[in-house]
Amino acid sequence: MNLFSVARQSIDSIKANKLKSSLTLLAIAVGVFAVISANTAVLVLDTYFNNTLNVMGGNVITISKDPVIRTGNDWDKYRNRKDITFAQMDDIIDRVRNVSDVGPVEDFSFTSVSFDDKETEPNVRIRGGNMYYLTNNSFDLEEGRNFTDLDINNARDVVIIGAEIRETLFETVDPLLKTIRIDGRPYTVIGVTAAKGAIFGNSQDRFVVAPYTSMLNNYGGRQRNITIQVTSASVAGIEDALDELTGILRLIRKVAPGDPNDFEISTNDTLGGAFDQFTGVLYIIGFVVGGIALFGAGIGVMNIMLVSVTERTREIGVRKAVGAPKSAITSQFLMEAIVMCQIGGLVGLFSGVLVGNLLSLQLDTTAVFPWGAALLGIVAMTFVGLIFGVYPAFKAASLDPIDALRYE
């Protein structure tokens, strides 16, 4: 009996026992669904995060007091570190050779912005930066101009606004050279950035950036803790830039030889590595939960097949009486188990992909298909059918034909 004929007979047997087959298929589909939906959702997150890093630029280096991504309860490790200040940024600018575009990123307020009789919600980031803020954060100017040395050195009250601020305050008005008010102070709009969208649900266009010198005059706090961004000359030279910045910062911050750094220097690779560890844990959890579900489904397959053997005892006796060998009986029941697992696996696979990709709609990113997990699922379903179908198949093949024919 060839494989095609065995598969066809298996499908006919599954059709003939629709209720039991449906219950078994449901158990298998749930197990595969758990694995595939989890893997698809994690792959969506991974794709979204990598796309975000690509938008941010591969040669931007971030210097901060605390890690950009922190895991665990390790606050005590960082809270006693000295702040990174504007004075230290000035020292870096004076000393550094392998990087350019050194600039601060500092939030001075989180408030509303108004123009004439219009006002935003009180959730706008008011930031201080310099002429490198836009390039270091991968913003493009849609209208107007960037900051100049004169704006920074003279602490001018000029601002560049994000696309969302323009939509809210200047829907039908040209925003350039208009005066907006922030915390009661007037600022002149000199530029508008192109829209970037949202990252993890947070809008990247709801901000106003002004010269950090102007922000210091208006809000004070030159000794406040800041984040510094610098740009390496190239992606290939980023390791040299990291070594140079580490040495300069240890010198500036008077870190003793042998002591660990009391600051953090991160790149896109650093963030990507931390996120890969996070997604790796999620993958493991998904496979463990799905594996347990598939094990339970496999036991269900074996039980259903044993019931099927009992119900079809007379049929098996008839087949043996007309000369069917043990191998034919064994192969038929094994194939039924495998086909049942594969059908249930495909149902779970496609439903898992659909549900997992709901996250891509929420994040407004591209849909994905977990090819690796899908192929692994197909192979796993074959093994589940083989492993849990062996005992029922051998039991069916071992039945005595005379006893089987007498079975009622």
| Domain residue ranges in the chain | 3-52+273-406, 59-266
User: Is the confidence at residue 200, as pLDDT, over 80?
Assistant: no
Look at residue 110 and tell me whether its pLDDT is greater than 80: yes
Q: What is the predicted pLDDT for the residue at 98?
A: 78
Q: Which residue has the higher pLDDT, 330 or 250?
A: 250
Q: CA torsion, points 319, 321, 327, 329, in degrees to nearest 10?
A: 30
Query: What is the pLDDT confidence band of residue 250, given thresholds at 50, 70 and 90?
Result: very high
- DSSP letters for 273-286: HHHHHHHHHHHHHH
pLDDT over 90 (residue 121):
yes
- Residue 75's pLDDT band, with cuts at 50, 70 and 90, is low
What b/e sequence results for 324-354 when a residue is b if at least 16 CB atoms lie within 10 Å of its CB, and e otherwise?
beeebbbbbbbbbbbbbbbbbbbbbbebbbe
Q: Which of the listed ranges 14-28, 207-221, 386-400 does the model predict with the highest average pLDDT?
A: 207-221
| 113: pLDDT strictly greater than 80 | yes
CA-CA distance, 203 to 301, in Å (whole number)? Answer: 49
pLDDT (average), residues 317-336 = 77
Q: DSSP letter at 407?
A: -
Query: What percent of the chain shows pLDDT beyond 90?
Result: 30
Dihedral sign for Cα 347, 350, 352, 355, please: negative
Distance CA 107, CA 126 (A): 6
Reduced to 3 states, what is the DSSP secondary structure of residue 323? coil
Backbone angles phi, psi at 148, to 5 degrees: -120, 170
DSSP-assigned letters across all residues of 341-403: HHHHHHHHHHHHHHHHTHHHHHHT------HHHHHHHHHHHHHHHHHHHHHHHHHHHTS-HHH
Residues 279-324 have pLDDT tens digits of 777 777 777 777 777 787 788 778 777 777 777 777 777 777 777 7
| Residues linked to residue 193 through DSSP beta bridges, in sequence order | 141
Identify the pLDDT of residue 321: 78
d(CA 27, CA 106): 53
3-state helix, strand, coil in the chain (%, to 5): 55, 15, 25
Predicted TM-score (pTM) of this structure = 0.64
Instruction: Find the mean pLDDT for residues 89-96.
Output: 90
Q: Can you give the pLDDT at residue 77?
A: 73
> Which is more confidently placed, 271 or 108?
108
pLDDT tops 80 at residue 332 = no
Closest CA to 216 of 137, 104, 314: 104
Q: Are 38 and 285 in contact (CB under 8 A)?
A: yes
Residue 229's contacts (CB-CB under 8 Å, 6 or more residues apart) are 60, 61, 62, 63, 101, 102, 103, 104, 105, 132, 133, 136, 137
Q: How much is the pLDDT for 274?
A: 58
**pLDDT averaged over the chain?**
82
Closest C-alpha to 279, from 42, 55, 10, 63: 42
Rounded to a whole number of angstroms, the distance between the first and last alpha carbons of the chain is 28
Summarize the confidence of residues 167-186 as an average pLDDT: 94
